Structure 1
Amino acid sequence: MVGAAMTKSYVKAMFREIGRSKARFLSIMLIIFLGVAFYTGIRATGPDMLQAADDYYATQKLASNSVQSTAGLTKQDLAVLHQHRSQIAYQAVKYLDINQLNNNQTVRVAEVPAKQRVNRLTVVSGHLPRKANEIVLDQQARTLQPHLKLGSTYKIATTAKLNRSFNRRTFTVVGFVNSPRYIEKTTRGVTTVGKGTLDYFALVKPGTLTQKVASRIDVQFKNLAAVAPYSATYKHRQRVNTAKLKSWLKPQAAKRQAQLQRQARAQLAPQVRRVSQLSQQLPANSPILIKAQAQIKQAQTKIAAIGQPTYFYTGRSANPGYSEYHENTQRVVALSTVFPLFFIAIAALICLTTMTRMVTELRIQMGTLKALGYSNLAIGSEFMLYGGLASLLGTLLGVGFGVNFFPRFIAQAYGSMYNLPAINVQYLWTDILIALVIALACTMGSAAIVLRVDLHSTPATLMQPKAPKAGKTLWLEHWHGLWRRLSFNHKVTLRNLFRYKQRLLMTVLGIAGCMAMMITGFGLKDSIGDISVKQFNQLWHYDAIVVRNGTQTTQQRRALHRQSLYKNDLVLKQSQVTVERAGVANQTATLSVPQRPQQLKKFVVLRNRQSHHAYTLNGQGAIIDEKLAKLYDVKVGDQLPLKLGDHAIKHVRVAAIAENYVNHFIYLSPQAYHHIFGQHPVYNGNLVQFKHHGQTAQNQFASDLLKTKGMLNVSLLSTEKKNNFQMLDTMDLVVVIFVVAAGALALVVLYNLTNINVSERIRELSTIKVLGFYDSEVTMYIFRENLILTVMGIFFGCFMGDWLHSYILNTAEIDSLMFSPDIHPVSYGYSALLTLAFSLLVMWLMHRKLKRINMLDALKSVD
């Protein structure tokens, strides 16, 4: 009698089984590989991207706060911050925004601080300026002006007034740099000069600009050095730090006011003395003296009217690209919560089927070992070792491939948008351990479930082949009219399908799962791609937003109407409001009040997303966007809490919920605005339509208009659309990964299930081959079943895909964005065609295998 311990021969037998069934072992390993690679790789992508940003911000010492003032920032402001140097690092920056008249590009010319304490520059090529005639340019300048190279001459050519703000205007280009303030490659923020948006920045030596005060002070709080950006801890400390910074500089406003008044009085003093001298020389009623005294009095009134300057405090979120990068990583993180788990669940399902087949195949061997005295533990250990080894190898290979490939591929896709270094992959051991446990449960757990009956059977029972499953009358057979018309082959196909219900269920579920993932992948592409098309082509029918400092003047109206691009405009009030409610993150929305509400439909389509029923503004309430309604869980007739500037929170009745995808919008009629806020709206903006859409002409439109007094900003929708499409195109590459991975899994699933089907029925197939069936007829015998199961899987996969797509959209959306929930019909078609193509490929491989069947070996009796 052999003891329970495994002998050397038994171990050899186990490895011999692996060699004998290489296809099955490799298929299990490949399924585990795909599942683990996808799970660990996608799960690691978001953290890897965030870590890359964290490292970059820390290395370049990105400022956590910036301070600006309407009167500039002085040495006294810096002295206040110097008192708190134990808590902060800071540096003052002088800059001037200009519009280059020779190419209509808007440039921020800044002086490089002597010592870069914060916002350290990354030199891409060349070096920082060492002499007064040297200049370095933003890397983006090289993209916009390819002729600019190291050694090129760079000339500042702007208006005569701004030209006088420079001590030197001709420079030699000695370097190209990136700044951590602008991690996005194209966007450089807004300005009140030119077309309203900056194209790039240029850096010169200190002393180049004539201005005496600093334009901005950048501050880095030391208590944030070890805190991860974007984290809740960072946001909390940032709020505390900003409040602290405000309290430090609060007294400076009154001091700066007094300083400005003193400077103005000092400038006026010589004139006062001259007038005083005149009063002694001329009669009191002299016209010259009266005029001079009036001028002095007027100047003194202006000096007395000099108010306290306003200090502005901004955080990193004001930097172009900073918040957007986080939003993009959060989309990847959101996708990684569900999709990989669904993926690995399909892998587990197929492993269960494969291990079930293996146990069935080795029944006789199990009976023999049991008769020889091997314990149940020793017999079961072969299957555990087989499955465990496949899982372990699949997991090791999957982790190695997934963690190194997926994050790098996705980060590289986003790399086209951001000035960030390549990511360093990190192994998230918690996720790897979860993947290993799931992989082992897929194989060893499946084996344990299947073995629980066979291990308790007697050796005699096990040494007999398992009796084929008895056929049963199908419900179709009761439909005599149809059943009689079916051919023999079709009847056999239908009976075989419903005879092996477990196989039918597993195959349909496996194919449906893969089909669902492909639909979700294509659907995400549709949902993402539709955002820009629907928002910019269907809902918004204007080309620019003009913002003024108050009600439109005759001069401003004429300046707008005489533009060659001008076609039509809508006068409206636009301002930013905050929607506040406990338990929901505050949202910023654009409040729009058209002067003529009946004209709004020519510029903005307000409609129901599903029925396309159009809405019109009336005095009964606000029309809000769908995403805002979803975030605050409000319906038509509910109240939405709004905060406009320093006003108290007002509650606005929701009159309608309109289709919208980008940002938040609230529309009110003038009557509704007056009723809610108790004052008439100041119409400070225009929505403008153009006659045509050339980018150069649009930039010129913005540049010309901003020269008019009182014009603050011109935003071109073409710029926003371009940035939007670039972001969404990047997401498309991420979607491609999901589609390819789902397709690979579908191929492996179909191959594995078909291989099991053929292996289970090898005697049956050999029998019909002996009876004279041709090779093609034997293949069709199996293929008809596969085709029906594939079609069934495709059918149910459509419903599963709809659910999975909807679920992922809800988790992947950010607060300021709503995906289009529709999947294009063609996406279902692509997914179905791919699944059918994989099915055909698998059957071609099976056809080659079936041709090589040794009929005699397969038909040998095992009794």
Structure 2
Amino acid sequence: MGMTPAYFKTILREIWRSKARFFSILIIIFLGVAFYTGIRATGPDMSQAATRYYRTQHLATNSVQSTLGLTRADVSAVNRHAGVTAQPVRYLDINQLNNNRVVRVTELPTTQKLDRLTVTQGRLPRHANEIVLDAQAQRLQPSLKVGGTYHIVSTASRNRQLTRRTFTIVGFVNAPRYVENVDRGVTTVGKGTLDYLAYVRPGTLKSRVISRLDVSFHNLRAVTPYSATYNRLNRANTRQLKRWLAPQAQQRQIALRKQATAKLAPLKRQVAALSQQLPATSPVLTKLTAQLRAAQAQVTAIPRPTYLYTDRTDNPGYSEYHENTQRVVALATVFPLFFIAIAALICLTTMTRMVEELRLQMGTLKALGYSNVAVGSEFMVYGGLAALLGTAFGVIFGVNFFPRFIAQAYGSMYNLPTIEVKYLWGDIGIALLIALACTLGSAWVVLRVDLRSLPTQLLQPKAPKAGKTLWLERWTGLWRRLSFNHKITLRNLLRYKQRLFMTVLGIAGCMAMMITGFGLKDSIGDISTKQFNDLWHYDAIVTRSGAETAGQRRALRQSANYRRSLTLKSSQVTVKQAGVAEQTVTLGVPQTPRQLNRFVTLRDRQTQHAYRLTDHGAIIDEKLAKLTHVKVGDTLALKAAGQATRHVKIAAIAENYINHFVYLSPSYYRQVFHATPTYNSNLVQLVHSNEKAGNAYANQLLKQTGIVNVTLMQTERQTNFKMFDSMNLVVLIFVISAGALALVVLYNLTNINVSERIRELSTIKVLGFYDNEVTLYIFRENLILTVLGILVGCLLGDWLHAYILQTAETNALMFSPGIHPVSYLYAAALTLIFSLLVMGIMHLKLKHVNMLDALQSVD
């Protein structure tokens, strides 16, 4: 006999009768699917938002600058080739003396072919007296408003380079070159970093030299940014661009020498005329001849310009945004699978209980002639309906909520447009298959034994599990001291081992995810504190063009805010090993190695043992050692620009979290590089390290010739904290989601426990147990299982946290691997609170149990 309308009604009646169980399965599937599809869609959605923005705004793929400025000939050299768009840009970096800000004033091209601005407020400038500002300007100076007046007040030499210095603000904009909200790149003006950008009409700057040439290669238009294909094509394009401009350097040098020689023509004529009129020893002629020689020497000394090539990866925030999306993708590979594994476990337990409850009905249907397919279809429809509804609601909620929430968390860091939600049908299909496997698979596993049984066997109640002597009972000293209730609790726990295993594992899984969530918050939050408080003890890095001069030394020390400094050689080198991406490393050589520990703490992360520089090897950071698979005693290959590869021996591996470093003593540097180090930097400690005092010190220093940059650690720290704050919001999602799952898991397992033992509970109620005592009868077991789940969850959480950290780390970043003890307490407290909440619900349910119905027997 197949399915009849009456039988279908029976199935619907069963769903309604056990709606608590049906909805608990549905909610578990809903949570698992929502988390899986939502988190899996977040990374691609964020990447898609960036791709769309770069394409719409025509973000340049490459940029070129020159040490002597660019000319129209340079632009023509690029434009004559097909498949490329070039846009010359003129700008002037100024130090605003009226508000201590460093601003890049850029002339907007008449037609924005590349790097089109997005207007966030107002409009673009139409007249010479109008200006638009970067949206960052309003964050830094809230007094700036559309319609307000903007004054440029800089040094006399900078002021002379502008045709006007007073403008009306007509709008605020975002530039696609700067997707990150804070960082605007570096400059040789003021404190060394740009605060914001200003855009004016052409003709505002007097200089006709082109500051930068933005280039877009058409073969990258349809290629996804950050992809391997994009990177490969970009490398080829950069090589091509270098070939096109290679002849221009010599032509520019010849042109500049011709211009300079032309300016010498009057002097040459004057010397020639005087040499015919005056004797060669005449003081006037001697003086003019010396001037001419010096001028000609200057002409000859005009260097060949160096062309500097950059691409999108050099734009502030461009690579960092991709790294953040990759972190979300990394989290999406493990967390959702863990979630779904727990959902599958609980579904198996729930469906097992349902089959046991309906044995009598199955026997009756088989006796009436229904086929095994028809009898089993009740459970398949029940489980399939829960899976389909749970998946549908989970996909709608997950795909619409998680990506938006996480992207909004990162939105405080980036000025990209809002994401467009995309349904990834591959992931949705996988989620549906897993959901159906959880319910239908569980039902089939449990049913396959019962469907082979005869109706007479099914009509008989299943024999209760036989009681056995516990090993604890043999410990007579302890067993005698236990109360009657405690003995019953222990017997029940160890009698139903499957339930014990499932409950402990379910709670442990949720506990592990909460610990991982809190642990990620600890690991991310500790980076800035440990790096900037415990390991780095300086407030500024001063970079010079060469060795320290007496004037620079005086400028460094004359401020009342100066405390002490360390002179060192600092340069960028690369480390390349097979199978590992090329790493950029800061090479540091302190002039006085014994002073280094006052500025930088070099120690072992686990033992806290301090290291000192010796003449027998280098000290490198822990993450670099991990990436390159080296240990103490091994050698590491370093490559400085334009030099042969050198090998250093590793003397120690030190704790570090941000970027890479290699420290060498001056003696060991000479031994390895066969050259004397040029001490081009200072690590400076200040009396007051706040932003205002730091900027004032930087501004003063940058007036000194030869000082090219001052990096303030306070600014670096703020940038790092901003990134980590957004990650905390992402972590919060994981904690809340894991908590919600823990609550549903505890409710489901407790509900099954109560349903299984309703006759036993009714019996002790009839025997005179009060309602509170009946609840405690179950609660003791639940409490022990919860505590066991918490303990196992701590171990599982440690493993999951370590795995996630390893997956989510970028090459230049190492998370702090420790979890704070309080995080374990938070996770355990939440699990206990959920357990108490569930028992409160069960207490109300047990108070209203009909004892007579429960005690009725089919015998």
TM-score (normalised: structure 1): 0.99
Q: State the 1:464 CA deviation.
A: 1.0
Other-structure match for 2:139: 143
Q: Does 1:30 align with 2:19?
A: no
Q: Does 1:169 align with 2:165?
A: yes
Match of residue 115, structure 2, among 116, 119, 131: 119
Match of residue 530, structure 2, among 534, 549, 557: 534
Q: Deviations over 1:677-708 (max 9, x none)?
A: 10010000000001122211110111110000
Q: State the 1:90 CA deviation.
A: 1.3
- Structure-2 separation of matches of 1:567 and 1:312: 37
Other-structure match for 1:255: 251
Match of residue 92, structure 1, among 75, 88, 91: 88
Other-structure match for 2:59: 62
Q: Does 1:73 align with 2:74?
A: no
Q: Does 1:266 align with 2:262?
A: yes
- Structure-1 separation of matches of 2:536 and 2:246: 42
Q: State the 1:475 CA deviation.
A: 0.6
2:169 counterpart SS class: strand
Other-structure match for 1:473: 469
Other-structure match for 1:582: 578
2:639 counterpart SS class: strand
Match of residue 15, structure 2, among 11, 15, 18: 18
Q: Which amino acid aligns with 2:512?
A: A
- Structure-2 separation of matches of 1:791 and 1:533: 33
Matched-pair identity in %: 70
- Structure-2 separation of matches of 1:389 and 1:278: 107
2:98 counterpart SS class: coil
Q: State the 1:267 CA deviation.
A: 1.2
Q: Does 1:128 align with 2:124?
A: yes
- Structure-2 separation of matches of 1:413 and 1:277: 76
The 5-angstrom pairing of residues 520-531 of structure 1 reads: 520-531=516-527
- Structure-2 separation of matches of 1:139 and 1:269: 50
Other-structure match for 2:46: 49
2:338 counterpart SS class: helix
Q: 2:691–2:715: 8 Å Cα contact kept in structure 1?
A: no
Q: Which amino acid aligns with 2:56?
A: T
Q: Deviations over 1:308-346 (max 9, x none)?
A: 100000010111110110111111110100011001100
- Structure-2 separation of matches of 1:793 and 1:212: 73
Q: 2:690–2:714: 8 Å Cα contact kept in structure 1?
A: no
Match of residue 429, structure 1, among 414, 425, 428: 425
2:88 counterpart SS class: strand
Other-structure match for 2:276: 280
The 5-angstrom pairing of residues 477-556 of structure 1 reads: 477-556=473-552
1:250 counterpart SS class: helix
Match of residue 629, structure 1, among 619, 625, 628: 625
2:392 counterpart SS class: helix
Other-structure match for 2:804: 808
- Structure-1 separation of matches of 2:673 and 2:49: 46
- Structure-1 separation of matches of 2:797 and 2:828: 12
Other-structure match for 1:109: 105
Q: State the 1:12 CA deviation.
A: 1.1
Other-structure match for 2:196: 200
Other-structure match for 1:324: 320
Q: State the 1:746 CA deviation.
A: 0.3
- Structure-2 separation of matches of 1:803 and 1:247: 52
2:95 counterpart SS class: strand
- Structure-2 separation of matches of 1:694 and 1:738: 35
Q: Deviations over 1:636-685 (max 9, x none)?
A: 01111110111111111111000000000100000111111100100000
- Structure-1 separation of matches of 2:289 and 2:646: 50
Q: Does 1:456 align with 2:452?
A: yes
Q: Deviations over 1:134-166 (max 9, x none)?
A: 111111111111111111111111111111101
- Structure-2 separation of matches of 1:275 and 1:208: 40
Other-structure match for 1:610: 606
Q: Which amino acid aligns with 1:643?
A: K
Other-structure match for 1:446: 442
Range with greater deviation from structure 2 (624-633 or 261-270) = 261-270
2:121 counterpart SS class: strand
Match of residue 784, structure 2, among 784, 788, 793: 788
Q: Which amino acid aligns with 1:81?
A: V
Match of residue 682, structure 2, among 666, 680, 686: 686
- Structure-1 separation of matches of 2:139 and 2:23: 49
2:34 counterpart SS class: helix
Other-structure match for 2:635: 639
Count of residues paired in the alignment: 859
Other-structure match for 2:330: 334
Match of residue 746, structure 2, among 745, 750, 756: 750
Other-structure match for 2:238: 242
Q: Deviations over 1:479-537 (max 9, x none)?
A: 10110011100000000001100000000000000000000000000000000000000
Q: State the 1:277 CA deviation.
A: 2.0
Q: Which amino acid aligns with 1:115?
A: T
Q: Which amino acid aligns with 1:343?
A: F
2:373 counterpart SS class: helix
Q: State the 1:278 CA deviation.
A: 2.1
Q: Which amino acid aligns with 1:536?
A: F
Q: Does 1:719 align with 2:715?
A: yes
Q: Deviations over 1:7-44 (max 9, x none)?
A: 11111111111111100000000000000000110011
Q: Deviations over 1:379-403 (max 9, x none)?
A: 1111111101100000000000000
Other-structure match for 1:401: 397
Q: State the 1:104 CA deviation.
A: 1.0
- Structure-2 separation of matches of 1:202 and 1:213: 19
Other-structure match for 1:221: 217
Instruction: Note the residue ranges of structure 2 that are not aligned, 5 or more in a row.
Output: none
Q: Deviations over 1:600-651 (max 9, x none)?
A: 0000000000000000001111100000000000000111111011111111
Q: State the 1:280 CA deviation.
A: 2.5
Other-structure match for 2:729: 733
Q: Which amino acid aligns with 1:471?
A: G
Q: Deviations over 1:207-253 (max 9, x none)?
A: 11011110000011100011110000000000000000000000000
Q: State the 1:377 CA deviation.
A: 1.2
- Structure-1 separation of matches of 2:571 and 2:368: 86
Q: State the 1:279 CA deviation.
A: 2.0
Q: State the 1:782 CA deviation.
A: 0.2
1:724 counterpart SS class: helix
Q: Which amino acid aligns with 2:7?
A: Y
Range with greater deviation from structure 2 (845-854 or 367-376) = 367-376
The CA RMSD over aligned residues, in Å, is 0.7
1:251 counterpart SS class: helix
Q: Deviations over 1:580-610 (max 9, x none)?
A: 1122110000000000000000000000000
1:652 counterpart SS class: strand
- Structure-2 separation of matches of 1:137 and 1:832: 51
The 5-angstrom pairing of residues 310-321 of structure 1 reads: 310-321=306-317
Q: Which amino acid aligns with 1:182?
A: Y
Q: State the 1:756 CA deviation.
A: 0.2
Match of residue 826, structure 1, among 822, 829, 836: 822
Q: State the 1:820 CA deviation.
A: 0.4
- Structure-1 separation of matches of 2:554 and 2:534: 30
Q: 2:131–2:171: 8 Å Cα contact kept in structure 1?
A: yes
2:210 counterpart SS class: coil
Match of residue 291, structure 2, among 289, 295, 304: 295
